Structure 1
């Protein structure tokens, strides 16, 4: 065939190929979140969104189910010998997202690296009871403890990292491109925009039904709600103001589910501050906050005032601790007692700076607390920061007072992380710098007491002392609420607000 006749044929074929497109991919399943995660490495993560997204990326030996019970994840089964030897038998043929097999060496490496001071893991104190870790074979890992440790199985919910990558690339590898063995694999992360994940086809428990998962980072409540109502968001979990709930309930394109939560909100004090280290000042602040009014008007009944860290449904909950009910007149008397009399004129007794995030509901709560404290003569300046800056200040102790929440309150051993004198950062989360030798001894006893009733008695006393000493003002326990498109099925709520339910979620 002459060349001039052949060229039009080539152009026709090229044009035909160019015009033939594959069917468009399904749009990603979009979940809106309030703040960017700060750290994907499960050995270092401490903020809620880092841990929740990390649980989709990294499998664990054990995980909590929707009822809060410990169930197998990487471990098919486990045995306990005596009180100090735990042997876990791993599932066969588990692979990391890069195709490498996960073995007992990865498990050992994960926990040994957490214990290595060079890593500076904030979880290190939680594993100091481990004497050594043995790997008899690729599918077996054995932990030998120095002494009995009642919450040990709870601690086995840390994500397992790939030894070959963590050793080779250091911290930067898992921080910038996390590779685990969870139901989703990492695609990309823009701290100002989104975290994108994709279903891991070789996940040992079956690939998720959602092919692509996009966590959109939207700090403003109003924008999240607008995007939800426009149909640009598939699911919101606890990331909207409670007063928007009636409006969302009337939207025929949405459905709402609710479940009890273990989330605990509190006001924390810097106990090194010369004003706040005085207990009567902390008592006055506790007495000046009308928690009933805040939970009724701002939370619309989706929160209930808390007496302490543990919710009333928790097995170790103490129901007779000291409670500071709203009493502004008594609050003023405590300030007088502390040496801060009410001066003549409009001048306040003293000034405090209250730090919080830029979350709309958090700001509204702090504004109400500001007004309530002004009624007893305390002037409060509010400082709002984007999440990363705010959380960095709290971890470094750069605050006077702050409001924050603990999510995933499970074993009462959390008190050790929050209030033991050796758990001050970077060794733990005792960010308020609380120190009490009696509490230290009780917390150590609670860890080695295996009998449930005796252990409950130990934590009963701990809760009594913490309520008296007031390193925190307990505010409220919130409900878990998820709003989603009507066509979303299979998603269920976890008590700690985990996103693991996304593994089973799908569009109808």
Structure 2
């Protein structure tokens, strides 16, 4: 009962905060509420989800991805000249940096050359390590020579392209980005307030970081921001659906949430313990009661409709009896209970989720302590391996190279993201074989075998793919909600002037009819 009352507290606070008197937003400026600020707007170094999503607006990439995770042309097309030589030709679109200079092959070579230089300590270097040479026959052509064949190589070239001149001069781009994307930086007056200008029409987008989700919703209702995306509790989502001037959209998501284990810990290093936890967690109940069914259970990083997705992975059913038996096999019982610590962020909803997991594990005899931290401290501990269990979400993952990055024994930080120190000779063998396989169908089969192995060995307990949620005020139209939560829809969004008001409109704010903003789209 106490948890249920806490779940409703933020909604009750909103109801009493006088949000019925909205403040009009400035014409021609779209204000987008974020849960946290970007940390680095240099794509060579950015790793947090918010920075990556904003960088997609600022920088163009050689390669994009289709809905099944296969690479498609971005600003370049490609051909495979030999098993270890790829030629990329730059097209015409997206070739102009925001300072007016033209993007050429030299910029592509400088960007990837910088990332590959170990002296620069780019976190993306490991994923590109098979690049052996980069040549630029002309301003529109880049050739990549590989140390070994990899038919999936184009999929690795999704880094934002920077100007060679800025790289050569040692320019700092982390807070002064310069790219050729649909937006350019206008200013960044404070860490939680960033303004971008849409290059096609001058629309200003102000990205405002408002950590507290209840305050973020209140600002939406008051008109201080016009849209927000994700990072809402289900109670706030349900509350917004009832508001007159707010439109709420939902679509299935593809970002993978998981519970990870430290394999070097005496307790969580035991497979029996990891399986006991998997059987103790009732994922369906957590999704239903905490997420209000805004998500679907997951069994692997990739959904089944991905090109390497696996159909038919048998879920770890919720079975307290099986969990207790496994704990007994591992040497734990009522007299010698298992004590574990879960590290998580201090986001209120994530703390509620951790508390619910704590209750489910307690029911089978596991005493779980919860330690919550600000994001920087939490993620620093995760990368350093200072945890027994932690929960995180992989965001925007498209290529199966993630398996090498997250699970190969040679990918322990700082060489990758194998933060749980998972070491398995068969997993390494499958990852290496898949990377060297020239036929994509056979490569997919190897990756499916790998996912079955990971599902059995449980370096992660797969949890779910959370749904994507968008809330907008009246007058915001045309935003496309993506399954991975990116902000690409800002390139097409339109601000619609109030009915009958067509005077004094700024660039990017136009008068046009639109659908009823109270209409909602469900799962």
Q: TM-score, normalization: structure 2? A: 0.85
Deviation for aligned residue 1:210? 5.9
Partner of 2:495: 507
Partner of 2:319: 327
Partner of 2:73: 72
1:135 pairs with 2:130: no
Partner of 1:279: 271
Deviation for aligned residue 1:124? 1.3
Q: Separation in 2 of the partners of 1:507 and 1:371? A: 46
Deviation for aligned residue 1:226? 1.3
Partner of 2:237: 245
Q: 1:41 to 1:192 in 2, by over 3 A?
A: closer
Deviation for aligned residue 1:450? 3.5
Deviations 1:458-506 (CA, angstroms, capped at 9, x unpaired): 0121011101111001001122221112321221022221111111111
RMSD of equivalent CA atoms: 2.1
Matches within 5 A, 1:248-267: 248-267=240-259
Deviation for aligned residue 1:357? 1.4
Partner of 1:423: 411
Deviation for aligned residue 1:303? 0.8
Deviation for aligned residue 1:86? 1.9
Partner of 1:473: 461
Q: 1:420 to 1:68 in 2, by over 3 A?
A: closer
Contact 2:83 2:151 in 1 (8 A): no
Contact 1:355 1:403 in 2 (8 A): yes
Deviation for aligned residue 1:261? 1.9
Matches within 5 A, 1:175-324: 175-189=174-188, 192-200=191-199, 207=200, 209=201, 211-324=203-316
Deviation for aligned residue 1:26? 3.1
Q: 1:194 to 1:383 in 2, by over 3 A?
A: farther
Range 362-371 or range 348-357, more displaced: 348-357
Partner of 1:51: 52
Contact 2:253 2:295 in 1 (8 A): no
Number of residue pairs the alignment of both structures matches: 471
Range 271-280 or range 445-454, more displaced: 445-454
Deviations 1:303-339 (CA, angstroms, capped at 9, x unpaired): 1111111112223222233431111121111111112
Q: Separation in 1 of the partners of 2:432 and 2:283? A: 32
Deviation for aligned residue 1:192? 4.8
Q: 2:447 aligns with which of 439, 459, 462?
A: 459
Deviation for aligned residue 1:66? 6.6
User: What is the DSSP-based 3-state SS (H/G/I as helix, E as strand, rest coil) of the residue aligned with 1:107?
Assistant: helix
Partner of 1:204: none
Q: 1:447 to 1:69 in 2, by over 3 A?
A: closer
What 5-or-longer segments of structure 2 have no aligned partner? 1-24, 497-523
Please identify the structure whose Cα radius of gyration is greater.
1
Range 186-195 or range 161-170, more displaced: 186-195
Q: Separation in 2 of the partners of 1:69 and 1:506? A: 30
Partner of 2:81: 81
User: What is the DSSP-based 3-state SS (H/G/I as helix, E as strand, rest coil) of the residue aligned with 1:176?
Assistant: coil
Partner of 1:174: 173
Q: Separation in 1 of the partners of 2:196 and 2:390? A: 33
Deviation for aligned residue 1:169? 2.3
1:374 pairs with 2:357: no
Q: Separation in 2 of the partners of 1:487 and 1:70? A: 35
Q: Separation in 1 of the partners of 2:340 and 2:188? A: 37
Contact 1:122 1:425 in 2 (8 A): no
Deviations 1:252-276 (CA, angstroms, capped at 9, x unpaired): 2122223232111000111111211
Q: Separation in 1 of the partners of 2:78 and 2:360? A: 52
Q: Separation in 2 of the partners of 1:471 and 1:191? A: 39
User: What is the DSSP-based 3-state SS (H/G/I as helix, E as strand, rest coil) of the residue aligned with 1:175?
Assistant: coil
Q: 1:131 to 1:284 in 2, by over 3 A?
A: same
Contact 1:287 1:330 in 2 (8 A): yes
Q: Separation in 1 of the partners of 2:145 and 2:110? A: 15
Contact 2:229 2:470 in 1 (8 A): yes
Q: Separation in 2 of the partners of 1:68 and 1:330? A: 36
Range 130-139 or range 119-128, more displaced: 119-128
Partner of 2:348: 360
Contact 2:41 2:51 in 1 (8 A): yes
Q: Separation in 1 of the partners of 2:187 and 2:411? A: 34
1:156 pairs with 2:157: yes
Contact 2:110 2:167 in 1 (8 A): no
Q: 1:190 to 1:436 in 2, by over 3 A?
A: farther
1:400 pairs with 2:388: yes
Contact 1:150 1:446 in 2 (8 A): no
Deviations 1:420-477 (CA, angstroms, capped at 9, x unpaired): 1111112211111111121111111212223233122201210111011110010011
